[in-house]
Amino acid sequence: MPGSRHADLLRALRAALGDVAVRVPDADHPLTEHLQDWRGRYHGQALAVVSPADTAGVATTVKLCGAHGVSIVPQGGNTSLVGGSVPDASGEQVVLSLRRLNQVLSVDADNLSMTAQAGCTLAAVQQAAAQAGLLFPLSLASEGTCTLGGVLATNAGGTQVLRYGTARELCLGLEVVTAQGEAWTLLKGLRKDNTGYDLRHLLIGSEGTLGIITAASLKLHPAPRGCATALVPCANPAAAVALLREARQVLDAGLTACELMAPLPLSLVHTHLPDVVKALGGLPLPSAQTLHAGSPWWLLLEAVSPLSDADAQERLAGVLTDTSASLSQSLSQRAAMWRLREAIPMAEKTAGRMVKHDIGLPTSHIPDFIAQVEAALRQRWPGSAVVCFGHLGDGNLHFNVQPPAEQAQGAGFDAFEREANTLVFDAVQALGGTISAEHGIGELRKHELSARHPAAALAAMRAIKQALDPAGVLNPGRVLPLADEGTHQA
C-alpha cells in the first residue's frame, strides 16, 4: 500500500479526475496488464495507474505528480518491445495511461489529413481513414493494441515504411503536455510550416521522456485501388537483395513492402502455429523439415496500383521470374501471406527465450552481415541458431538468437545474452548500422546506446532532457540511464 506521503497525491488525483481514473494495484486487482511488458521480461510495481479522460486531465496529473515528486511512465497499448512502457520495481511511479483519450477528432479528405487523440489504437486510426476512402499506411502486427501516442513516441516502423515512411513521416502536428503540466497544441495539419524549432520531431521517438503526446494530426494517402502480394523463394539473402533491387526498378513507388523470412522462423510457424500454414491453402511453402534444413529464404513482396488488383498483379508478376513464386489471386490469399509473416513473433515467443535484436544496416551489407554473424555465432556456440526476419526494404532485420539448450534459462541465458549482444552489435557497428531500427531504446538498450553512441551526441541528448524535464518527472532512466546507474550492460 502507498505510504502517507503518497496518500495526499492519490486524494488529489481522485478529487481532480474522479475515482474511476485512479486505480491502485492490489491483490484483487493487480493491474498486471499495465505493470508487465509484452515479452514478460520486465515486471514493475506502481503507486497507481491513472487514466485521465482528456488533455486537461493529463496536464493535471503531471502537475500533481510533479508537485509530489512522483515520476510518471506514460503508457499507451503497452506493446513496447524494449521495456519502455512499464514502471520500475520501486512502486513509487505513476503509470499514466492514455487509453481513454480515444477519439478520432476529424478527417479532412481534401487536405489528406486527420486528427486523433493519442489513445486511439492504430487499427482505429486506419479504420477511420478507410471509412473516408483514404489510407493511413502505418501497419504493425500489434496494431489492434498499440496506440497512436505510442507509435509516435517510439517512431514505429512496420511493414509499409518502404513506400510511406515511419511514424515520423506520417505526422503533421502534435498536441503535447510538457513535464511541467502545460499543454501546447500544434495540430494544423500543414505540409509546410517553418516556424522555429520543430518540436514535433523532438517529441517523435522520445519514448515518453520529453513530453506526453495527447493528440496528433496525421498525413493520409489516397487508398490504392489495387494491391497484390507475392511469396517468393530466394536461394540466399544476396538473391533476396538482388530481387529487391529489381522490384524497386520495375515497380518504383508502387512497391509497398519487402519482407524477408529465413527458413528457421517459418519452420517455427509450421511447428507452433500450423493453422497459419494451413490457411495458405494451395500456395507452396516447403515442409517444416525442408525449412529446418535451411532453405530456401523467402520474400514477401507487395505492390499497389491506382487502377485495380489485376493491374497490381500484372505489375508484380513482371518481377517474379522464379516459377515457384506465388502471386495472390484474392484478398484472402493476400491476408494468408501476411498472417504467415506476422505469425513469426508469436511462434518465436512459443519456442522459448531468445536474444532479440532489432538492427538496421545499409541493405547492401545485409548478406555479408548475416553470413559473418551466423558463422561467428555457430563457432562460439554450436547449439545456437539465428531466427532472422524483417523489413528488408528498410534494411531492418529482427536478428534473434536462440541459445543452446544448456543456456536457455537463468544465469546461463544472461551470460549468453551479454556475449551474443556484443558479437552482434560489434558487427552492426563495423558495417555502419544501428542497434535499434524501429523498437526504440527504452530500458533494454539504454546501456548499449550510452556505450556505442558518440559522446557529443549523448551530451546533446542529456542537455535536451535536462532543459525540458529538469526534475526528471517523465519516464526517468529510460533511453538515457540515470547518473547513478553506471555504464554496465543491460
Does the footprint of ligand FAD cover residue 475 (CB under 6 A)? Answer: yes
Residue from the set 10, 50, 134, 156 that interacts with ligand FAD by CB under 6 A:
156
Does the footprint of ligand FAD cover residue 57 (CB under 6 A)? Answer: no
Does the footprint of ligand FAD cover residue 181 (CB under 6 A)? Answer: no
- CB within 8 Å of 339: residues ≥ 6 apart: 276, 279
202 to 241: interface string for ligand FAD, x by CB under 6 A: -----xx---xx----------------------------
Residue from the set 57, 66, 74, 403 that interacts with ligand FAD by CB under 6 A:
74
The rounded distance, in Å, linking the Cα atoms of 248 and 319 is 9
Three-state helix/strand/coil letters over 228-242:
EEEEEEECCHHHHHH
Cell numbers for 107, please give them.
478527417
The torsion angles phi and psi of 470, rounded to 5 degrees, stand at -60, -30
Nearer Cβ to ligand FAD (68/349): 349
Q: Identify residues 8-27 at the interface with ligand FAD (CB under 6 A).
A: none
The rounded distance, in Å, linking the Cα atoms of 29 and 54 is 24
Q: Which residue is nearest to ligand FAD (CB)?
A: 150
The rounded distance, in Å, linking the Cα atoms of 40 and 17 is 31
Does the footprint of ligand FAD cover residue 256 (CB under 6 A)? Answer: no
Does the footprint of ligand FAD cover residue 154 (CB under 6 A)? Answer: yes
Q: Identify residues 189-208 at the interface with ligand FAD (CB under 6 A).
A: 207-208
Determine the straight-line distance between the first and last CA of the chain, rounded to whole angstroms.
Answer: 30
Does the footprint of ligand FAD cover residue 77 (CB under 6 A)? Answer: yes
Closest CA to 441 of 37, 80, 131: 80
Residue from the set 137, 205, 442, 476 that interacts with ligand FAD by CB under 6 A:
442
Nearer Cβ to ligand FAD (203/320): 203
The rounded distance, in Å, linking the Cα atoms of 437 and 360 is 5
For strand 72-75 and strand 94-97, is the pairing parallel, antiparallel, or unpaired? Answer: parallel
Cell numbers for 338, please give them.
501476411
Residue from the set 66, 76, 87, 481 that interacts with ligand FAD by CB under 6 A:
76
Residue from the set 17, 21, 48, 118 that interacts with ligand FAD by CB under 6 A:
118
For strand 358-360 and strand 226-234, is the pairing parallel, antiparallel, or unpaired? Answer: unpaired
Q: Under a CB-based contact definition with an 8 Å cutoff, are residues 77 and 125 in contact? A: no
Size of the site for ligand FAD (CB under 6 A): 37
What is the smallest separation between the CB atom of 71 and ligand FAD, expressed in angstroms?
11
Does the footprint of ligand FAD cover residue 98 (CB under 6 A)? Answer: yes
The rounded distance, in Å, linking the Cα atoms of 488 and 446 is 10
Task: Collapse the DSSP code of 259 into the 3-class scheme (helix H, G, I; strand E, B; otherwise coil) and give the result.
Answer: strand
Give the binding site for ligand FAD (CB under 6 A).
Answer: 38, 73-81, 84-85, 98, 118, 140-142, 146-147, 149-151, 153-154, 156-158, 207-208, 212-213, 345, 438-439, 442, 475, 478
